[in-house]
Structure 1
């Protein structure tokens, strides 16, 4: 009878592997909860600071989003503070869209060459170059833009050289390796038998690439482009060094302008916590955060559409 009870206890006792599995699940759950808490905390903190402009300083939301004058320390003829964020919002979207439009053909072309046309040379030459570009700090891109891009823009188009065009050139180089790497991964994810079936039906290599591979990889390529746009939208230091930092509505690509990130980096250290100037900058940060969440939502929707296909 005693031996039977001992046998039952041994059978009910968890094995070492089961204990390790439970421990691993606990660690994973703890890490997940910590990440969720950090993300929620960041969103809550920025939101609480950002809405203070509208709750404490009683600034109208529409006036903030549509106003064209940015000078929080001054009031207009009606006694309202000049906290119009439209120039920075327009500047951010302009520089993001233009850099994505320029970078996308180069990125997809490079990815096609690396994966479809010359995979051996692409892996040996282009892949290390792409990885090197990813690792270069933003301030280096900014210094290169300040030393090369701005003088070139000034010589070709006149003006000061600072503006949307210079920022686009710098951001184009910055997001190119990111979009290229993700595009190459999207092309690698296309099953090989797609290519083999197309070639077996008599299609040329270019027809296979254009009508089969690229179409099958479209969701992944779109994700790469949107991810690059999110990267460009949130870039601060490099853009600040070449865009001119003038909180004015951009009337041309070569006139000094500003973005949400450039105004934040130049102004946040020169304001007093709790003042209108500081609250207005936090409102810009909230707009930037919301746009980042929108970009992430678009990426998830594109990825889900790709899985359904």
Structure 2
């Protein structure tokens, strides 16, 4: 009896220790996020307060970035980020979902063995190589057909970002489609629907929550991409993009291009750009997550 009691005490102590380790690991992630948020917001909001404060309205509504002249406007960067992300999602999500449908529902096993590893390999390619591909292949092609003299443009950014988000969307969408119970397919086919009708009327609606989750991650990848975009965007210092041929300067590339040598007010305004980027990403993600949760409840 005493031995059993001793064993139970040791087991309980060990379980408490393990629970404590799990709690520390969980808190490490939470504390890291909080620390990043506090640091970025403290540094980013500092230039808008005090005697030498910069106008926040001029900052978010301005269409010119000229640190040498103490002019900092990021509205044209916000527009570039929104348009590039929206374009990549509009093109990439349908392609990704249809590819996932083909892999999960229609492709023979031999084709799956080739297509699936090829798509997964895209996820492992460094961003700089995507940028090099865009600069060496996409940009020259666009230069040939563009009415502008340069090939760096919003269109080039959209094309490269579309390629970059495909692995995420395809992989997660395929998993969501495969998770749909076979009874859904059997019921649809039993009612006389064709295979294509079954896929679009029964399978995809049932997998909608997972597909939206894939879209959320795709949006995060598109918004946060820096190196590849910096190489092909053109990065102008002013001006709103008025067509897909216009050069753009997304928020991420602005920070990456100047942070290494910036100091004083310029560095503070780069942190302020990070605050705008953070808020923008949070709004997009929260909106998409709410949509995903609603679809999941249905």
TM-score bracket for this pair, using the shorter chain length: over 0.9
1:64 maps onto 2:59 in alignment: yes
Partner of 1:167: 157
Partner of 1:276: 265
Partner of 1:156: 145
What are the Cα deviations for residues 58-95 of structure 1, in whole angstroms up to 9, with x where unaligned?
Answer: 12222211111211331xxxxxx421110100000010
Q: Which runs of 5+ in 1 are unaligned?
A: 1-6, 75-80
| Higher deviation after alignment, 290-299 or 200-209 | 290-299
1:296 maps onto 2:285 in alignment: yes
Partner of 1:3: none
1:126 maps onto 2:115 in alignment: yes
1:266 maps onto 2:257 in alignment: yes
Partner of 1:249: 240
1:186 maps onto 2:181 in alignment: no
Distance 1:194 1:63 in 2: 55
Partner of 1:22: 16
Asked if 1 retains the 8 angstrom alpha-carbon contact of 2:61 and 2:73, the reply is yes
TM-aligned CA deviation for residue 301 of structure 1 = 1.9
Matched residue pairs, number? 295
Distance 1:249 1:267 in 2: 20
What are the Cα deviations for residues 37-75 of structure 1, in whole angstroms up to 9, with x where unaligned?
Answer: 11100111001011012114412222211111211331x
Asked if 2 retains the 8 angstrom alpha-carbon contact of 1:245 and 1:257, the reply is yes
TM-score by length of 2: 0.93
Larger Rg: 1
Q: Which runs of 5+ in 2 are unaligned?
A: none
Partner of 2:296: 307
Q: Check 1:307–1:16 CA distance in 2 against 1; reply closer, same or farther (3 A cut).
A: farther
Q: CA RMSD in A?
A: 1.8
Q: Quick one: which of 14, 34, 37 aligns to 2:31? A: 37
Equivalent residues in 2 for 1:91-106, closer than 5 Å: 91-106=80-95
Partner of 1:48: 42
TM-aligned CA deviation for residue 299 of structure 1 = 4.2
Asked if 1 retains the 8 angstrom alpha-carbon contact of 2:216 and 2:289, the reply is no
